[in-house]
Amino acid sequence: MIKEILKDIGRSIPDGATPVLRGNRIFFLHPFKRFDPITLTIMAVGAVGTAMQVKSTLQQGKDAEKTGKARAAIDIQNAEATRKASVEKARIQKERGRRLIEEQKSSAAAGGIRINIGSPLVIEAETQADITKDIGFGLETGRAESDAFRASAALEIAQGKAARKQSKYRALSQGLMGVSGLVSGASSAGLFTKKPTIYGFGEGMTAP
């Protein structure tokens, strides 16, 4: 009868042990060890819980690193786009400046003013200086923004790596604490005792 019950609940008789049915519990008598099916079930659940917790912690670290890399990739794209935009803007400003100077020369020539001496040359030089200054400022701004995006990318990657590293330490700590708890539970259940004491028969009573 006991064997059929154990089969129905998916349990087996430990080697060298004798099953004894008492109420709604089955105890196992062993000359050196003590077994409590209920305690053993709780321990098994505890082991699974610890494993899932460790796995979850490690996965969080992996996800954090993956997210950091994804954000860094976006920052790198923004950095490159910003650099290209500043270069293109400088090209356009340079072309507009060239046209502006040509228009000034044409206007001066149409008015009968010699464009290669005197005030026209001063005006041209001043205009060219302003254009060059604007172009330089635009390029410098673009470089600064691009560098900021690249610095952000490096930070995202570093933070992702740090998060994964920390998750490994946390997982290790959780694993050690879980093992410690299981060992403590096993000890409290009498799995390490050499007395053939049967749990549930009354305090201080032992199996005959």
> What pLDDT band is residue 24 in, cutting at 50, 70 and 90?
low
pLDDT in tens, 165-191: 888 888 887 777 766 665 565 555 554
CA atoms lying within 13 Å on the CB side of residue 41: 9
What is the Cα 206 distance to its own chain's centre?
A: 54
Tell whether 125 is covered by a domain. Answer: yes
pLDDT in tens, 104-149: 878 777 777 666 666 777 888 888 899 999 999 999 999 999 999 9
CATH of the domain at 180: 1.10.287
Say if residue 155's pLDDT is above 70: yes
Tell whether 76 is covered by a domain. Answer: yes
Given this model, what pLDDT does residue 135 score?
92
Q: Which two tokens stand for residue 46?
A: 């505890």
Domain count, the chain: 1
d(CA 147, CA 141): 10
Tell whether 26 is covered by a domain. Answer: no
Tell whether 168 is covered by a domain. Answer: yes
Task: Name the nearest CA neighbour of 20 among 34, 2, 36.
Answer: 2
Tell whether 12 is covered by a domain. Answer: no
Note the helical H segments in 11-118: 37-110
pLDDT in tens, 33-90: 766 553 434 444 455 566 777 788 888 888 988 999 999 999 999 999 999 999 999 9
Average pLDDT score over residue span 19-44: 60
Task: Name the nearest CA neighbour of 164 among 64, 20, 19, 48.
Answer: 64
Percent of the chain with pLDDT over 90: 26
Q: Are the beta carbons of 23 and 5 closer than 8 angstroms?
A: no
Tell whether 152 is covered by a domain. Answer: yes
Q: Domain residues for 150? A: 37-188
Given this model, what pLDDT does residue 197 score?
43
d(CA 70, CA 72): 5
Given this model, what pLDDT does residue 108 score?
72
Tell whether 5 is covered by a domain. Answer: no
Tell whether 18 is covered by a domain. Answer: no
